Amino acid sequence: MAAPGRTPVQIRELRIELSRTREDIVDEISLEIRAGEVLGLVGESGSGKTTVGMALLGYCRPGGRVAAGAVLVDGRDLSELADQVLRSLRGGLVSYIPQDPGTALNPALRIRKQLLETLETHTKLSEAERVQRMRESLGEVALPSDDEFLTRYPHQLSGGQQQRVAIAMAFACRPKVIICDEPTTGLDVTTQARVLQTVKELCRLHSVAALYVSHDLAVVAELADRVAVMYAGRIVESGTRDQLFTTPRHPYTQRLLRAVPDLAGKRTVLGIPGRAPLPGNRPGGCFFEPRCQLAVDACRQSFPAATMLEPGHQVRCYRAADTAAGVTADEAAALPGITAGDSVLEISGLKARHGTRETLFDIELAVSRHECVALVGESGSGKTTLARCVAGLHRDYTGEIRLAGAVLANSARRRSSEHRRQIQYVFQNPYASLNPRRTVGQTIARQLQLFFPGSRREVGSRVSQCLERVALSETAINRFPDQLSGGERQRVAIARALAAEPALLVCDEVTSALDVSVQAAIIDLLRDLRAEIGLSILFITHNLALIRNIADRVCVMTEGRIVETGTVTEVFEDPQAQYTKQLLANTPSIEAALGHA
């Protein structure tokens, strides 16, 4: 258990700014994390969560610098350490679990080699002890530790398996501090539940102080002891888990909670109007004032100071005493239903293989016009393989896939341009799906030129419209992917797909990298598109609560087979398959975490 009173992480009045303009990225950040404690850091994309997390590694992204304050890890001020010393501490004293394991793991090295290299570099274990610790670490995150698995390369693992390897690697050296940057983003609910429990147990057992950066408030409610809410580079509210989730007092915290999908379907997901201001464009007073329904003149004059509402519960809001009511009733009005039409996609007798291994068995599935069909299941269940067959990206299958009655060729290259336009695929990983050498504007313009050739002015106008659809500012047009947050990159990928005006949108975990407010906006967008242009959606997700707010029907997959199909109400309220019941039981929710389930 944690040593009483020991505080391995202390951040004092930290300010990180842009080197060239001196505009702050984050400012006035003060945090402490005790040994064995998990602090959840939440907020929208671009709020500065990852910047604070990286500061605990003694790292600032290019173009930024620590302008004021101190970051102390285990009593050592990172700003006073040489680069060589910092590099030796990373992985040993401080470990990091990245949001995207696909780019964090070395594609040229086998899993065994990567794990053993980490242990060899940062521990003094013998060779036999390193092998034992490696196998133990894999077992802690529910991965096999046999030689067959250890000889695989990262690309031979599913996204969920890659993430679990990254988590095992981070905990293997038994660090004193660990930064978790959205580590369960790509995991199905069953694996996520196991990983969250593992993270919690390992933090307690080894007295690890953990900073858990996330946009998933349901996950934070399951895991965190305390929570800090960031908005536009400032911490606007902080407190214990129960204080933040049962009595939130900042309007922004309340709106974030209102944007969290509800598994029981008792409330409608609501987004937050407007966008968070970027460095250099922040208001003179409270940064949330332009989006706040409770703003008064004082909010426009100066940023509010921190107020202690009760022991451990701080808020920076002039209206903290008036925020008990939360979201008004008219905002919570139910969204209108959408009626499905003629069949767009029909799959019959589909069987697929990866090499000599059969991965899909006798799949029967249909998606109608206007309809959204959700495909759920654990990592490795065959969801993405099925989606790739539909898009013509996986050719090794038998059976028929029909689009509006026409049989599609197995390969996208053999399909007509019109068929390729009508089926658009949004990948789970925006880091890998966007060309790093093209600006956002060039990426979307390329899609428009393929299917709707026009003048430069016409294309430019349509690019702006595409960005507006996904709540991105026109200022993003000239940016490259590495200049965007993870959520912003995914919105660009969605905008690119929508630019083709498809009949069927295949969404492969498209909201997994988005914060809850943007996720709510994307769900609203997809609903509107279904109504306006008859868009059909095959929506692959592990977020069962999200399905309540977008899908008409649900298909549950495991081990390459669909084991249950029905309307959302039928599957969620009266599941027939044992596997479906297990998925529902493992789905995190704020209500269940707080004991209100």
Asked, for residue 365, whether it belongs to a domain, the answer is yes
Are the beta carbons of 386 and 350 closer than 8 angstroms?
A: yes
Confidence of residue 261 (pLDDT cuts 50, 70, 90): confident
Token pair of 521 as six digits: 């906006």
Q: In the predicted model, what is the mean pLDDT of residues 426-441?
A: 87
How many domains does the chain fold into? Answer: 1
Measured between alpha carbons, how far is 344 from 402 in angstroms, rounded to an integer?
8
Is the pLDDT at 50 greater than 50, yes or no?
yes
Q: Where are the beta strands (DSSP E) in 355-419?
A: 357-368, 372-376, 397-403, 406-407
CA distance 591 to 264: 10
Identify whether 222 is part of a domain.
no
Signed CA dihedral, 2, 167, 430, 432: sign only: positive
Asked if residue 392 belongs to a domain, the reply is yes
* pLDDT of 34 higher than 60: yes
Report if residue 110 sits inside a domain. no
What is the predicted pLDDT for the residue at 267?
Answer: 65
pLDDT at 329 over 80: no
Residue 469 inside a domain? The answer is yes
Full residue range of the structural domain in which residue 385 is found = 343-593
| Residues 342/335, Cβ–Cβ less than 8 Å | no
The answer, yes or no, to whether residue 293 has pLDDT greater than 80, is yes
Q: Supply the pLDDT for residue 265.
A: 65
What is the mean predicted confidence (pLDDT) over 319-323? 81
pLDDT on residue 457: 86
Among 31-35, 134-138, 181-185, the range scoring the smallest mean pLDDT is 181-185
Strands of 406-407's sheet in order across = 357-368, 343-354, 397-403, 406-407
Q: What is the CATH number of the domain that holds 401?
A: 3.40.50.300
Residue 468: inside a domain: yes
Beta carbons of 340 and 552 less than 8 angstroms apart? yes
d(CA 49, CA 167): 19
Residue range 453-464: mean pLDDT, rounded: 88
Largest CA distance in the chain: 69
Is 84 among the domain residues?
no
334: pLDDT strictly greater than 60: no
Got the DSSP string for 156-221? GS-HHHHHHHHHHHHHHT--SEEEEESTTTT--HHHHHHHHHHHHHHHHHTT-EEEEEES-HHHHH
The pTM is what? 0.72
Residue 215 has pLDDT above 60, yes or no: yes
Give the per-residue pLDDT at 2.
41
The confidence score (pLDDT) of residue 548 equals: 81
Segment 149-153 shows an average pLDDT of 95
Alpha-carbon span 434 to 70, nearest angstrom:
36
Which tokens hold the place of 546?
Answer: 């999200």
Residue 522 has pLDDT above 60, yes or no: yes
Contact 378, 586 (CB under 8 A): no
Looking from the CA of 150 toward its CB, the CA atoms found within 13 Å total: 18
Question: Could you read off the pLDDT of 62-75 as tens digits, one per residue?
Answer: 888 999 999 999 88
**How many Cα atoms are found within 13 Å in the side-chain-facing hemisphere of 254?**
22
DSSP code of residue 336: P
The answer to whether residue 22 is domain-embedded is no
Mean pLDDT of the chain: 86
Residues 523-539 have a mean pLDDT of 80
pLDDT at 366 exceeding the cut of 80: yes
User: What percent helix, strand, coil does the chain show, rounded to 5?
Assistant: 40, 25, 40
Give yes or no for residue 259 having a pLDDT over 50: yes
CA-based nearest residue to 448, from 482, 411, 416, 495: 495
Q: How would you label 44-69 residue by residue, b for 16+ Cβ within 10 Å and e otherwise?
A: bbbbbbbbbbbbbbbebeeebebeeb
pLDDT at 1: 38
Helix (H) or strand (E) holding 18: strand 9-18
Confidence of residue 438 (pLDDT cuts 50, 70, 90): very high
Beginning with the edge strand found earlier in the chain, give each strand of the sheet holding 64-73 in spatial order.
24-33, 9-18, 64-73, 76-77
Tell me what pLDDT residue 417 has.
92
Each residue's pLDDT tens digit, 158-203: 777 888 898 889 889 889 999 998 877 667 777 777 778 878 888 8
Least Cα distance to 177 among 75, 29, 51 occurs for: 75
